[in-house]
Amino acid sequence: MKKLFISTIMVFLFALTMVFATAPTVTTNCGSSATVGTVYNCTVTATDSDGTIASYGFTANPTGMTISAAGVIAWTPAISQIGSNTFTVKVVDNASESTTSSVIVSVDGTDAEDLVKNIDDLQDTVDGLKDDYDDIENDVEDEIDNYQQAVEDDDSGDKRDAEDNLDDLSDDLDDLKDDVDDSSDDWDDLKNDYDDLDSGDFDDSDLDRSDVKHDLNDVDDDIQGLYDDITCLKYEIKYKETNCDALTDDGSESSDSSSSSSSYESSSTSSGTSSTTTTSTGSTASTGSSSTGSTATTTATTPSESVEVITSTSTGSIGSSIPSYAKTTATVTPTTSSSSTSWTGVGLLALLGVLLLVVIVMMVVVLVRKKN
């Protein structure tokens, strides 16, 4: 009976404890503001007058926010979390009593929003440069057609006009290249801004509205494409042809470029000898013609000349190498061909001359002796 009484008292006291158990008291030092890309830290402190704290957790929290067993909160806001964010902490004691506490954090995204806007603006600028390039490309194709027609018609005036127009378009390309260089510098600055903002804590899934990282790469691709296009078009202007595909990726001419490119002929006369030189895409072939005679030797010589050679260089401030093409000067070594007549006829004439001279001398000697 005594044991039953003690058990009843214990059950009553336990029930009384459960009825009058108190939930934990929760306080935090969590701030109300955060910045994109910057770590946000705070601590939740909980006490329980009639027990111990069993766990810390969330009932709601932004993506990426964590809380430790000691109540330490850590979070690095992403670009997608700009604005108001609410998290609710739940603390549970050993009696399963719990307390929740909510905090509203405003994430400052001024730098991130400016970055996105600046990337959009740069993309618009590059798109405008691409349009400018398309206009110049169309004009170049027209002037190359005009030049080739003038060559066919042997119209020196139209040919000169086309060459002048192509020179002007080449200057326009130089100006466009400068603008592309400026955009490349802007791209470098934005990339650095992104890296600073990123701090290594972002991945592509963190980005909203537009994928900033991919947008940067798109601008980069467009800029590199413009570098290549400008180089190609400068090549076409130089050789008066629309055959930029003859260039390989490293800037040298492909093996079939000479067969597909346009050729122009010029003739010159030197010392009575006519020579014809055919130039095709920077390569030179020469032929000489000579007249032959019984006693004459004629030599045809191709004069030495300097030609421009396109070599590949690496330019630009963007990650990958951008093919560009620099001009150097090389001297073509003169070639000489000669032909001579047979010396057989000349030898016979010389022998006859010697014999005639001997006969004359002998006749003179005979006459002198008779006189004496």
Decide if 15 is inside a domain: no
Q: Tokens 């170049």, residue? A: 140
Q: Are residues 27 and 43 in the same domain?
A: yes
Decide if 362 is inside a domain: no
Decide if 14 is inside a domain: no
Decide if 347 is inside a domain: no
Asked if the model's pLDDT at residue 99 lies above 90, the reply is yes
pLDDT digits (tens, 9 = 90+) for 108-139: 888 777 888 888 898 899 999 999 999 998 99
Q: Are residues 298 and 149 in the same domain?
A: yes
Q: Are residues 67 and 169 in the same domain?
A: no
Answer whether 107's CB lies under 8 Å from 82's CB.
Answer: yes
For residue 23, the tally of other CB atoms under 10 A from its CB is 19
For residue 205, the tally of other CB atoms under 10 A from its CB is 10
The helix (H) or strand (E) run that includes residue 235 is helix 212-239
Q: Are residues 224 and 319 in the same domain?
A: yes
Q: Are residues 93 and 128 in the same domain?
A: no
Q: Are residues 51 and 133 in the same domain?
A: no
Q: Decide which of 363 and 145 is more confident.
A: 145
Choose one of 85, 108, 131: the last residue of a domain: 108
Answer whether 65's CB lies under 8 Å from 73's CB.
Answer: yes
Q: Are residues 135 and 103 in the same domain?
A: no
pLDDT band of residue 4 (cuts 50, 70, 90) is low
The C-alpha angle with vertex 85 and arms to 81 and 90, in degrees rounded to 5, equals 130
Q: Are residues 92 and 213 in the same domain?
A: no
Closest CA to 134 of 2, 126, 278: 126
Decide if 82 is inside a domain: yes
Q: Decide which of 235 and 250 is more confident.
A: 235
pLDDT digits (tens, 9 = 90+) for 9-65: 665 555 545 545 688 999 999 999 999 888 999 999 999 887 788 899 999 999 999
Owning domain of residue 85: 21-108
Q: Are residues 99 and 202 in the same domain?
A: no
Q: What pLDDT, on the 0 to 100 scale, is given for residue 212?
A: 67
Q: What pLDDT, on the 0 to 100 scale, is given for residue 372?
A: 66
Q: Are residues 326 and 195 in the same domain?
A: yes
- Most confident by average pLDDT, 176-180, 198-202, 317-321, 355-359: 176-180
Decide if 16 is inside a domain: no
The CATH number assigned to the domain holding 70 equals 2.60.40.10
Size of the chain, expressed as the number of residues it contains = 372
The domain total for the chain is 2
Answer whether 67's CB lies under 8 Å from 41's CB.
Answer: no
Answer whether 307's CB lies under 8 Å from 329's CB.
Answer: yes
pLDDT digits (tens, 9 = 90+) for 67-96: 999 999 999 998 788 899 999 999 999 888
Q: Are residues 98 and 158 in the same domain?
A: no
Choose one of 108, 138, 155: the last residue of a domain: 108
Mean pLDDT over 241-270 rounds to 43
Asked if the model's pLDDT at residue 213 lies above 90, the reply is no
Q: Are residues 60 and 116 in the same domain?
A: no
Query: Which residues touch 103 (CB under 8 Å, ≥6 apart)?
Result: 28, 30, 32, 42, 86, 87, 88, 89
Decide if 361 is inside a domain: no
Strand partners, 268: 275
Choose one of 57, 92, 108: the last residue of a domain: 108
Mean pLDDT over 320-338 rounds to 39
Three-state secondary structure of 123-165:
HHHHHHHHHHHHHHHHHHHHHHHHHHHHHHHCCHHHHHHHHHH
